[in-house]
Chain A
Amino acid sequence: MTKNHGAHSNLLKYQQSMADYLLYKADSADKHNILLDVSRPQLGIYRNNVRAVCYETLADNFETVCRVVGEDCFTGMVVRFIAERPPDLQQLSLYGKYFPTFIDNLPELQHLPWLADVARLEWQMVESFNAPSAVSLTASQVAAGIEAGLDHLALHPSCRLMSSPWPVVSVWQQHWHHREDDSQVQLRLDTGAEYALIFCYQQAARIRALSSDVYSVLQAINRAADVDSAEAPDLTRPDVIQVLAELIAHGLFIRPLE
C-alpha cells in the first residue's frame, strides 16, 4: 500500500522532480525551486550514484553481455534501461529481470540477435542463486519415484531449463573460460540451437549443456503433473541416465509440492 501525502505536498513535488532527474527523464531536479544551489555540480553526485549502483548490479548479473558489448556501450544501455525500467525491488542484486527483453528491443544491437538470450541465460543464474532451498531426495528415493511415475518427482527450486535457437551456452562458456582475456574468445554462431539446465550447487549457480532429447525429458519431469503417463519419456537411454545420475549427485530432485 502506498498512499500519497496529498497533491499540495511540496515534499512530494520535489521528490517527483528529483526522481525524473535521477532517471534521466529531466535535466533539472528542481522544477519547484526548493533547492538552494541547484546549478552546482553536487546535484550530479546523486544521479551518478544511482547510475553507478545500477551499472554495477547489471554488470554483475550480466557479466557476459557486458563483456560482449564493452563497458562504454553497456553504460549507454544502463542509462536507457534505468529510465525504462528503474529498480522496483528492495533487493538491488535482483535488478535486471527485464534486461533481456530490453536488449531484444534495442535497434543498435540487432547485429547481435543472440545477445538477449545470453542475457536470459545469465538472468536464470541470478534466479537460481536466489531460489529457496529444499530437501533433496536420495538416489533410492529418486529410483522409487521413477518407479511410481514421474509425478512423484520434481526438480529443485533452483533448477531452470532454457532453450535458444542460438548457441548461447557456448557463448557463455567461451567467455567464462577466457575470463582474463576476451580476445581468446572464438564464437561460432552457426551451430544451431542449444539447451541448458541452470542450477545451484554449493552456493553457486551453474550451467549444464543438454541435448534436445535430455532437455525434453527434464521438461517432462518439470511438468509431470500435467503429462499423462502415455507420454512418459524413455528414461533408460544412456544419455538420459547419465544426466539423471548427475542431478541425483547434485541433489536436484525433490518431492513435488502437494
Chain B
Amino acid sequence: MAHEMIGLGLRPAYYDDVLASTPPVSCFEIHPENYYSAGGTHFWLEKIRSDYPLLLHSVSLSPGSAECVPAEDIARLKALADRYQSYHISEHLAWSRLGQTYFHDLLPLPYTPESLETVCRNIQQIQEGVGVQILLENPTVYIRFQESMPETEFLTEICRRTGCGLLLDINNIYINSINHGLDADAYIKALPAECVGEIHLAGHQRQDGEMLEGSDRRLLIDSHDAAVASDVWSLYSRHIQCFPECPVIIERDSNFPPLDELLAEAEIARTIRARAGYVDNPETDKSRSCA
C-alpha cells in the first residue's frame, strides 16, 4: 500500500492557526522567497518545521530567462534548504526576471529550440547549485507564440536532458485546456508519469466579459483564490493511478478562508486517493522525509 503526503501551501495568514491546532496534514509547502530576509517570518517557520516537513516551491529563479540564473539567487535557496533541511524543491517553466528586475509573475516563453537549450542550461545550473534534483511545474499560459512546440514535448525533453522531475499542476492543465481548447487528459497522458514528483491543486476564477474565441466559455484565470473546482478534482481522479506516490499540495494564495476549509479540501484529496486504493495517514507520513 502506498503512503502519500497531502499538504497545504503555507501562507502567513495561517501561521497562528497551524501552530495552535497542528492540523492533520503531512507537510507544508512554502515560497522560499518569503524567507530570504534574516528576521521576520522565520520565527513561525522554525516552529512549524519542528512539526512538519517543508517543500520549497521557488518562484524567482526564472529558469526561462535568456540570461543565466544569478549564482547568489541559487545560493540563497540552497542556504534556506540547508537551514530547514528541506530538499524537495520545485520551480516553474516560466521566466520572471530580466537583468536586475524581478517581475514576481510567471511569464510565458515560446517553446522553441533556443528556449529549450536555455531552460536546460538554467535548470542544470540550479540543480548543481542546490545539489538535488528539482521539479519543474507546468505553467498557466494566457498567450500563444507563433513558433512553439507542444508543452508536453518541451517538458519531456527538459526532463530527459537535465534529469529534473515534474510538478504537475492539475489546475493549470485544466485552465489551459479551457482557454486554449486543448485536451487535458491527453496532455497528462503525453507526459512521462515516472518523472512526476508532486501534484498541485488550486482554485481559479472565470473572467467576466467576452467569450473565448470560437467557444461558449469564458477565460479562466489562475487566481488561487477559490476552492479547487469540481472539474479539476475530476481530472485529478481520472489520472491518480499515474502518480500514486506523489505529494499533493492544495494551494491558496489570496482570499484566505478559515484553515478548516483548506483541511476539508485536503480531506477530499484523501478520499479520492482512498477510493483509488491509496490510504494515507498524516501521522506516519509526517515523520517521513519529503526528499
Binding site for B on A (CB under 8 A): 1-5, 9-12, 14-16, 18-19, 22-23, 33-38, 40-43, 45-46, 49-50, 53-54, 86-94, 129-133, 157-158, 200, 203
Contacts and interface: CB of A to CB of B under 8 A. Distances in A.
7 contacts: A11-B66, A22-B103, A53-B105, A86-B103, A91-B37, A131-B38, A131-B39
Contacts of A94: 37
B68 A2 contact: yes
Given A3-B67, A35-B144, A93-B34, A88 B39 contact: no
A90 B60 contact: yes
Contacts of B43: 203
B124 interface: no
Contacts of B99: 2
B71 A1 contact: yes
Contacts of B34: 91-93
A132 B39 contact: yes
A91 B36 contact: yes
A2 B70 contact: yes
B2 interface: no
Contacts of B95: 15
A5 B66 contact: yes
Contacts of A3: 67-68
Contacts of A5: 66-67, 118
A92 B104 CA distance: 7
Contacts of B44: 203
Interface stretch (B85-93, B108-116, B127-135): B108-116
| Closest 6 pairs (CB-CB, A-B) | A132-B38, A12-B66, A130-B37, A42-B142, A36-B144, A90-B60
A129 B37 CA distance: 9
Given A2-B67, A34-B110, A42-B143, A53 B118 contact: no
Contacts of B76: 90
A130 B99 CA distance: 25
B115 A11 contact: yes
A5 B122 CA distance: 11
A87 B104 contact: yes
B102 A18 contact: no
Contacts, number: 133
A58 B67 CA distance: 28
B67, B109, B221: which has the most chain A beta carbons within 10 Å?
B67
A10 B114 contact: yes
Given A3-B68, A22-B105, A89-B102, 11 more contacts: A2-B68, A2-B99, A9-B66, A11-B110, A19-B98, A35-B144, A35-B146, A43-B142, A91-B37, A92-B33, A203-B43
Contact of B143 (A11, A37, A93): A37
Interface in B224-242: none
Interface residues of B, number: 47
A236 B152 CA distance: 73
Contacts of B147: 34
B258 interface: no
A90 B36 contact: yes
A50 B104 contact: yes
Given A90-B33, A91-B34, A4 B67 contact: yes
Interface string B27-39: 0000001101111
B40 interface: yes
A21 B166 CA distance: 30
Given A2-B67, A87-B103, A36 B145 contact: yes
Contacts of B118: 5, 11
Contact of B65 (A15, A22, A130): A15
Interface string B151-169: 0000000000000000000
B101 A88 contact: yes
B101 A34 contact: no
Nearest to A9: B66
A52 to B, nearest CB: 9
A99 B34 CA distance: 20
B102 A90 contact: yes
A40 B43 CA distance: 45
